[in-house]
Structure 1
Amino acid sequence: MVLQKIKSIMKESPFIMQVIARIYRFVHYNNAWKYRIWGGNTISLSSAFLKGTSFDISGKNNIIIVGPKARLFNCKIKIIGDSNRLEIKSGSTIISNTSFWMQHGSNEIIIGHDSTIEGGSLAAIEGTKITVGDDCMFSSDIEIRTGDSHSIINAVNEKRINPSDDILIGDHVWLTAHVRVMKGAVIPNNSIVGNSAIVTSKFDKENSVYAGIPAKHIKDNINWDRYLR
């Protein structure tokens, strides 16, 4: 009872939470400090808890924001280029064993409040954006990428035919294990994407299940819960 009361006081006090988070990050060393000092980059960790998380930034005017109470475990953040933005919002946000990659300039990766990721990679290149809504649940071995990282050329006119494109994932979306979300994809609110599916389309029907290679709409009028009822 006393321990629960102490925990409650800690959570309700932003100042105490910030002090505890700073101590936690100091004990579980991360190298964010050097990118604050050199390179003209902004890293705001507030009351976030980081363990085994590394930063590798080559560029300037990049912004990384991890909101209060968010937790990152064994993550890698790599930025190559200028004016990129990574924002991981506050709440019961837990991200583990995940890499974030931004290459070229003016890319964005936004993770919503209270979302969880158990493992995988998110890559935004060529000035594109990955948006993940609130209360999403991503399983392990998830890959989300806005581009192919290499050029595909039309053999007749020598023009590139594989431009990068934004990805939008709505609120309360469950990506099950081994899902791939490719450039230009849209996944609506309250949806489930089945195991090992590859999402390449802009879907618009909420409360649905999408599955297959490539993913297709297979069921509607559903929702999901993190806990068994």
Structure 2
Amino acid sequence: MTRFVSTAWVERGSAEFEAGAALRVHATARRATPEQPLHIYVLAGYDKLEEPYLAHLRAAHIHLYDATTVMADVTEEYLALNEFANPYNVKCFLRWFVIERMCPGERLIHIDLDLFFRPDLNEVSRILAECEGTLGSPCITIATPEWLRVYRVMVDRLISDRPALEAELDFGGTTHRRNIASDQDLTQALERRKGILPQTLRGIGNWAILNNPLWGPQVLGRPTTYTSDDDFGGKPVLFWHLQNNFADYLARLALIQTFPYPRQEDAKVRLAYPDFHLSRSPENLAFYLLKVQGGYVRLQQRWRDETAMTLPNTGNQFELLFTRAWVAQAFIVEGRFREIFSDDWWWDETAFVKASPSEIAEKQNETAAAPTLPANVFVSGDVSGNTIIIEPSDRHVALAIEVRGTGNTVIVRRDCALEAMLVACGGAHIEIGEQTEMNGVHIHADEGSRCTIGARCRFSRDVRIQLADAYQVFDAETGQRINAPRPIHIEDDVWIGEYVQVSKGCIIGSGSAVKAASVLDGDYPGGALIAGNPAKVVHAKIKWKTLDGAARALSDPQHR
């Protein structure tokens, strides 16, 4: 007997949990059956779920179990995981031990809750009866007792001597991490070494498999047909995987379809990822603010400031569009948005831009003239008359570079892992040192200003580095400019937390760490902990270490 299982944790209550987990959509779709129910083990916060919500799911053969005690036990046993994994990945590491104890000796099919099968689970069980291994990120894992035993042994080895295990597995890092720091890193490394864990699922060739529909061409090749029956090239889709960026894409499309507004006829509507960074269209501005910053009132103000438009008074309807539950209901249950899979939309490289033929040709010429770029690096603007140097790296997540005018220089040194927007205008210079990592950073250099960032720096999400103001200010009597742009210099091995703003003229010494939401304006020494608004040194001669174990020795004289 095969058991379909998943895991989850609850932070606030039923409503907030449902907004992200979309279990009511699973219930409505009726894929779980009396013979093959879906068992979900709640690792934390089970007591926050309300009984009517649980009863509704049970009626659809979706059962939630309180696994908090078991989770507490395994958490205590594996405290060492906290030395190199963040809290989210610790939960992911431990979920397999919880499942093993809750379902001893059973063959399990673990699925992510953002995965929605088209056939019911009886049929899925038959389809996967002879399969083993994982699929995707993984969104499906066939966890036999032997698979769980090997996994447990390897986690123990990871804790006792991670460098030795990584060397044995020839682990060369991922896009996001240099070391094994998640269960996904570990299982995929084990699968690559034949004979340790089974490799990717096999035996399902009669079905179209889209691990992420946004990557359709990479998985399927160009399909010859798409029909209303959810077939690609004559093969039915086995499941829809509403991964974050695909769900976000559908929400963005819904925003455009649901809330029409006046716009110039030739304005571009760019929906491809990364959204806001590639085009400051009203749609992408709205999406960026809702998804990253949140709040309808803030959206109203920014939309008015940026586009001179006023949004309809729709209250929290915008917020609703960006929950996975709403997207899943629209896409899975109601069958909306299938038009994106037509050839004209989906497979044409210009499909995400509404533009005239001349504009498309101009864009293609720009691309042809641009330097050869690593994967996930995008350049917009006229590259002629500018210098763009991107040294080799296969770790970039989404690096968007925009140049305006001529005489600009953008240099990104080797082995960086950047999710960032770099804007260089009016002869500006931006340079980022080797092995630096960024997770949602915006750097804007204008009027010939210069931004230099050292090697091995770590930047968290929503960090803004602004070298010039968006306006010019003059003394009313003398006419002299009083807010000229100023350079920013960040030395090697600097950590900057989320929501930090680095103002023009800042210097941050080597090895310093900046706490979240700080506003920096001035010079800061090396080896210091910096915090506050305005930011100041709150502790000198510190060391900082990332959760993946990359330590920075900051007590050297150069850091004092």
Q: Common fold, TM-score beyond 0.5?
A: yes
Residue 170 of structure 1 is matched in structure 2 by 491
Query: Match for 1:76: what amino acid?
Result: A
Greater RCO (Cα-Cα under 8 Å, separation 6 or more): 1
**C-alpha contact 2:393 2:417 (8 A) present in aligned 1:** no
**C-alpha contact 1:81 1:104 (8 A) present in aligned 2:** yes
Which of 372, 378, 384 is the aligned partner of 1:54?
378
Distance across 1 between alignment mates of 2:517 and 2:471: 23
**TM-fit CA distance, 1:4:** 5.4
Taking a change above 3 Å as real, the CA distance of residues 49 and 36 of structure 1, as seen in their structure-2 partners, is closer
Equivalent position SS for 2:366:
helix
Distance across 1 between alignment mates of 2:431 and 2:548: 29
Please give the root-mean-square deviation of Cα atoms over the aligned residues, in Å.
3.0
Distance across 1 between alignment mates of 2:365 and 2:379: 9
User: Is the counterpart of residue 84 in structure 1 residue 408 in structure 2?
Assistant: yes
Taking a change above 3 Å as real, the CA distance of residues 36 and 226 of structure 1, as seen in their structure-2 partners, is same
Deviations 1:5-36 (A, max 9, x none): 6979xxxxxxxxxxxxxxxxxx7979997436
Distance across 2 between alignment mates of 1:150 and 1:44: 34
Distance across 2 between alignment mates of 1:154 and 1:147: 17
**TM-fit CA distance, 1:177:** 0.5
Taking a change above 3 Å as real, the CA distance of residues 214 and 228 of structure 1, as seen in their structure-2 partners, is same
Deviations 1:123-145 (A, max 9, x none): 11111111110000000000001
Residue 512 of structure 2 is matched in structure 1 by 191
User: Would you tell me which structure has more helix in proportion to its own residues?
Assistant: 2
User: Is the counterpart of residue 215 in structure 1 residue 524 in structure 2?
Assistant: no
**TM-fit CA distance, 1:224:** 1.0
Residue 144 of structure 1 is matched in structure 2 by 465
Taking a change above 3 Å as real, the CA distance of residues 164 and 224 of structure 1, as seen in their structure-2 partners, is same
**C-alpha contact 2:366 2:383 (8 A) present in aligned 1:** no
Taking a change above 3 Å as real, the CA distance of residues 104 and 215 of structure 1, as seen in their structure-2 partners, is same
**TM-fit CA distance, 1:75:** 3.1
Query: Match for 1:83: what amino acid?
Result: G
Write out aligned runs for 1:154-169 (5 A).
Answer: 154-169=475-490
Distance across 2 between alignment mates of 1:125 and 1:85: 11
Distance across 1 between alignment mates of 2:440 and 2:398: 9
**C-alpha contact 1:68 1:90 (8 A) present in aligned 2:** yes
**C-alpha contact 1:110 1:132 (8 A) present in aligned 2:** yes
Residue 35 of structure 1 is matched in structure 2 by 366
Write out aligned runs for 1:58-137 (5 A).
Answer: 58=382, 60-91=384-415, 93-96=416-419, 98-105=420-427, 107-137=428-458
**C-alpha contact 1:88 1:110 (8 A) present in aligned 2:** yes
User: Would you tell me which structure has more strand in proportion to its own residues?
Assistant: 1
Equivalent position SS for 1:35:
helix
Distance across 2 between alignment mates of 1:128 and 1:184: 10
Distance across 2 between alignment mates of 1:115 and 1:7: 17
Which stretches in structure 1 are left out of the alignment for 5+ residues? 9-26
Distance across 2 between alignment mates of 1:54 and 1:228: 28
Query: Match for 1:220: what amino acid?
Result: A
Equivalent position SS for 2:396:
strand
Structure 1 runs (4+) deviating above 4 angstroms are 3-8, 27-33
TM-score normalized with structure 1 length: 0.77
Query: Match for 1:132: what amino acid?
Result: I
Distance across 1 between alignment mates of 2:501 and 2:521: 9
**TM-fit CA distance, 1:182:** 0.9
Deviations 1:153-210 (A, max 9, x none): 212222210000110000000000000111110000000011111111022x211011
Residue 45 of structure 2 is matched in structure 1 by none
Taking a change above 3 Å as real, the CA distance of residues 228 and 103 of structure 1, as seen in their structure-2 partners, is closer
**TM-fit CA distance, 1:228:** 5.9
Which stretches in structure 2 are left out of the alignment for 5+ residues? 1-165, 174-217, 219-272, 274-348, 351-359, 550-560
Taking a change above 3 Å as real, the CA distance of residues 208 and 157 of structure 1, as seen in their structure-2 partners, is same
Equivalent position SS for 2:468:
coil
Distance across 1 between alignment mates of 2:383 and 2:399: 20
Residue 23 of structure 2 is matched in structure 1 by none
Identity %: 24
Taking a change above 3 Å as real, the CA distance of residues 33 and 226 of structure 1, as seen in their structure-2 partners, is farther
Distance across 1 between alignment mates of 2:467 and 2:437: 20
Query: Match for 1:185: what amino acid?
Result: C
User: How many positions carry a matched residue from both structures?
Assistant: 200
Deviations 1:42-69 (A, max 9, x none): 6243xx332xx43211363212121112
Taking a change above 3 Å as real, the CA distance of residues 59 and 113 of structure 1, as seen in their structure-2 partners, is closer
Residue 16 of structure 1 is matched in structure 2 by none
**C-alpha contact 2:407 2:426 (8 A) present in aligned 1:** no
TM-score normalized with structure 2 length: 0.33
User: Is the counterpart of residue 227 in structure 1 residue 551 in structure 2?
Assistant: no
**C-alpha contact 1:134 1:170 (8 A) present in aligned 2:** yes
**C-alpha contact 2:366 2:382 (8 A) present in aligned 1:** no
